[in-house]
Amino acid sequence: MTTALDRPVKPPQVFPSLSTRRKTVNNLATVLVFGSFIVAMVPLIWVLYTVFSRGLTALTSDDWFTRSMRGVLPFFEGGGAYHAMVGTLMQGAVAALFAIPIGLMVSIYLVEYADGSRLGRVTTFMVDILSGVPSIVAALFIYALWITTFGFSKSGFAVALALLLLMLPIVVRSGEEMLRIVPMDLREAAYALGVPKWKTIARIVIPTALPGIITGLMLAVARVIGEAAPLLILVGYATYINYNMLEGEMGSLPGMMIAELNNPSGPGRDRLWGAALTLVLIIALLNIVANLISRYTGAKKK
């Protein structure tokens, strides 16, 4: 067996070796690039770890998911976040209820009808503006419109309206994106069969894009559900359950966090982190479901 001369002792040098400076700069850049990723992961893991480790005490108590804070004194143990979860979910649901039809119709207009028209361009521009509007400004606008001008009282519904404003650009954008990737062939096939345009959109285009639209909607709900700024201005915080969206104060998870922040006792801190963990879990759940829908059904991006 020949073992000695399988390959040359020294590989032939096709390229001259790198200068030390270039090698050093390259290595340094690699370290910096890896480092920046690690730097970004630190707060993420830190935040999540803190919320989980400190929030678990409250979450594992018996009453957390079944009781409100009614009659629970701030410095004593007990109580739960049921009222806050109900409030947060109701406000999110009402906002979504309005955001779906309006946002979807806007994206249908932009994709199917606008065709470079002036209204189409103006609408895209306006939706862009809306996506940059701070939540506190959206809340002030709803205050100026709904409460000062129309004379309604502060309520959960007013918050839902502010959330709707924050949701709309996300719903419109994702709807637009999903409708655009429906193949033109499908529409043309329907037209060729003599199906009216509106029926083509309602029966063929939308169902094809539906999983993507639902995904976008769930992400939109997840994005706005943790907004606390509108709560401060548009509804007070209630420690009891209020199913009435149109009147009275209402509990919510961000509201509960702000309320318990002023309570430095041990039970107060437990409830504070418990509310934070509950909120993060609800948002995570919405995100996971949205991801599962987009992974296992229908149209794919790209």
Partner 1 sequence: MNVNAKLPEDPVTTRLHRGRAGRPGDAIFAGLARGAALFVTAVIAAIGVFLLWRAMPALTRNEVNFLTSREWRTFTPDSLAFGVLDLFLVTVFVSAFALFLAMPVALGIAIFITQYAPKQTKKGLGYLVDLLAAVPSVVYGLWGLLVLAPALQPVAAFLHENFGWFFLFSAENEGLVEAGFTIFTAGIVLAVMILPIITAITREVFTQTPTAQVEAALALGATKWEVVRTTVIPFGKSGYVSGSMLGLGRALGETMAIYIVLATASSDFRWSLFEGGQTIASKIASGYAEINNELQAGAYIAAGLVLFVLTFAVNAAARAIVAGKGVH
For the CB of residue 5, give the shortest distance to partner 1 in the complex, in Å.
31
Within a 10 A sphere around the Cβ of 211, how many other Cβ atoms? 20
148 contacts partner 1 (rule: CB under 8 A): yes
In the bound state with partner 1, the residue whose beta carbon lies nearer, of 4 and 14, is 14
Q: Binding to partner 1 (CB under 8 A): which residues in 7-66?
A: 15, 18, 22-23, 25-26, 29-30, 32-37, 39-41, 43-44, 46-48, 50-51
- Site map (CB under 8 A) of partner 1, residues 97-136, x = contact: ----xx--xx-xxx-xxx----xx-xx--xxxxxxxxxxx
Number of amino acids touching partner 1 (CB under 8 A): 89
C-alpha to C-alpha distances, 12 to 15, 16, 17, 20, 158, nearest whole angstrom = 9, 10, 12, 20, 76
Of 88, 91, 68, nearest to 271 by C-alpha is: 68
Token pair listed for 273: 């982190």
For the CB of residue 4, give the shortest distance to partner 1 in the complex, in Å.
33
- Site map (CB under 8 A) of partner 1, residues 198-227, x = contact: xx-xx-------------------xx-xxx
In the bound state with partner 1, the residue whose beta carbon lies nearer, of 178 and 279, is 279
144 contacts partner 1 (rule: CB under 8 A): yes
In the bound state with partner 1, the residue whose beta carbon lies nearer, of 168 and 214, is 168
Greatest extent of the chain over all pairs of C-alpha atoms, in Å: 97
**DSSP of 195-249, one letter per residue?**
--HHHHIIIIIHHHHHHHHHHHHHHHHHHHHT--HHHHHH----SS----SSSS-
In the bound state with partner 1, the residue whose beta carbon lies nearer, of 72 and 281, is 281
In the bound state with partner 1, the residue whose beta carbon lies nearer, of 113 and 243, is 113
Q: Which stretch binds partner 1 (CB under 8 A): 63-71, 180-188, 203-211, 255-263?
A: 255-263
Cα separation, 300 vs 288, in Å, equals: 17
Give CA torsion, residues 57, 59, 63, 68, to 10 deg: 110
